[in-house]
Structure 1
């Protein structure tokens, strides 16, 4: 059995090796995107998590991965940086550009209809508005300043390092907003008087959170792993 709680394994490193570990970490409420640089053993101890239980779950998905390895596609950690950048842009950036305005429209509607009885919607609307604005400029920064630099990575290491610091800091800020949204909505609990639009809005907020966790993990813990100076 592999000891995933040894002194060398970071949370992000485990997810880079075992992408399905992200589901285990969500189950135990472990931040694997913005907090991916932390040692897993330290977080498990800090949060009072059963060491044996989480290690057994991680080993289970490792065994499943080994048994199906021949049928799996290339792991993210084995992708070249230009290829991984393209994947992130095609999958995660495209998704955000589609879903952010859709979600804002739904939030505007439910705020008008339900805002009188659900004051928390004003906070949700404000938080999401900030997140949307920040992410839109963030995507452009990555697409114009970061991703193209990987095409000639050796020549651009200094500029990549500089922009990586900004990118990772912006990830931290996005993570804080996501945490606050979850707190304000009480883990996206649907009120009894919620209409279908209300339900759809909260569903999209959770989907955005999940996508951003995957997105940030790939960048912080795989793409920018060698540029993280924290």
Structure 2
């Protein structure tokens, strides 16, 4: 059965923001999910000359894989999120902010320079750090104590945080022209976009784990 996220009328922008790995599939198919990403999955497939059913099946496989890879116990899932995503985001963002600043400073006069990227990454760094700190100090301990339905309010705050983070990811996609490197890009520029691609994919995977598995599981406890 196809997940509701993948209904033909849903936008590629929404799918890319919520489904880990979808951005890579869209990039490979030359489907824009940033500027122009408000078109439906069905329309995007048509414009790209792709079979909608085949594209949907590839995306559905991502959903199935994400569910299979998630630890079955709540404590294990929380530990996985802390280790795989919280620690990694902080480390990678600190490096990418410096690298983005270097690329903007050196190549700012290039037609395809990612102007505004450093600012967007600084905002994302602050946004994610505040969000993850709330989880580490308040939400995750409450989840592990089995607080159940009393978590509805705090989890709603987390949902809004995720929406804000998704907007910043779209901003990063926009200023980098969909993370497309210009011809002849230097090593620093290449390393920057490679790191950004991983970071953006990781953040989407992080959000997906919480939205579709951890939070529903915690509320039902």
Map of 2:207 onto structure 1 = 216
Contact kept, 8 Å, 1:182 with 1:188, in 2: the verdict is yes
State whether structure 2 residue 79 is matched by structure 1 residue 86: yes
- Residues 219/122 of structure 1: CA separation in 2 closer, same or farther (3 Å cut): same
SS in 2 for 1:224: helix
Supply the distance in 1 between the matched residues of 2:76 and 2:41 (Cα, whole angstroms): 33
Supply the distance in 2 between the matched residues of 1:192 and 1:176 (Cα, whole angstroms): 28
Map of 1:192 onto structure 2 = 183
State whether structure 2 residue 137 is matched by structure 1 residue 161: no
SS in 1 for 2:116: helix
The unaligned stretches of length 5 or more in structure 1 are: 13-20, 30-42, 66-73
SS in 2 for 1:122: coil
The unaligned stretches of length 5 or more in structure 2 are: 7-18, 28-39
Map of 1:53 onto structure 2 = 54
For residue 134 of structure 2, the aligned residue among 141, 148, 152 is 141
Contact kept, 8 Å, 1:161 with 1:227, in 2: the verdict is no
Structure 1 length normalisation: TM-score? 0.69
Contact kept, 8 Å, 1:108 with 1:125, in 2: the verdict is yes
Larger Rg belongs to: 1
Map of 2:5 onto structure 1 = 11
Supply the distance in 2 between the matched residues of 1:47 and 1:117 (Cα, whole angstroms): 30
Supply the distance in 2 between the matched residues of 1:223 and 1:135 (Cα, whole angstroms): 18
Cα drift, residue 190 of structure 1: 1.6
Q: Per-residue CA shift, 1:162-218, capped at 9, x if unaligned?
A: 111111111111111111211221111222353211111111111100111111110
- Residues 97/90 of structure 1: CA separation in 2 closer, same or farther (3 Å cut): same
Map of 1:225 onto structure 2 = 216
Supply the distance in 1 between the matched residues of 2:142 and 2:201 (Cα, whole angstroms): 27
What are the within-5 Å matches in structure 2 for residues 66-77 of structure 1?
Answer: 75-76=69-70
- Residues 11/97 of structure 1: CA separation in 2 closer, same or farther (3 Å cut): same
Q: Tell me whether 182-191 or 211-220 shows the greater mean CA deviation.
A: 182-191
Q: How many residues align?
A: 189
Supply the distance in 2 between the matched residues of 1:122 and 1:178 (Cα, whole angstroms): 15
Map of 1:178 onto structure 2 = 169
Cα drift, residue 140 of structure 1: 0.5
Contact kept, 8 Å, 2:107 with 2:113, in 1: the verdict is no
Supply the distance in 1 between the matched residues of 2:57 and 2:129 (Cα, whole angstroms): 40
Cα drift, residue 120 of structure 1: 4.6
Contact kept, 8 Å, 2:117 with 2:176, in 1: the verdict is yes
Q: Which segments of structure 1 move beyond 6 Å, counting only runs of 4 or more?
A: none
SS in 1 for 2:79: helix
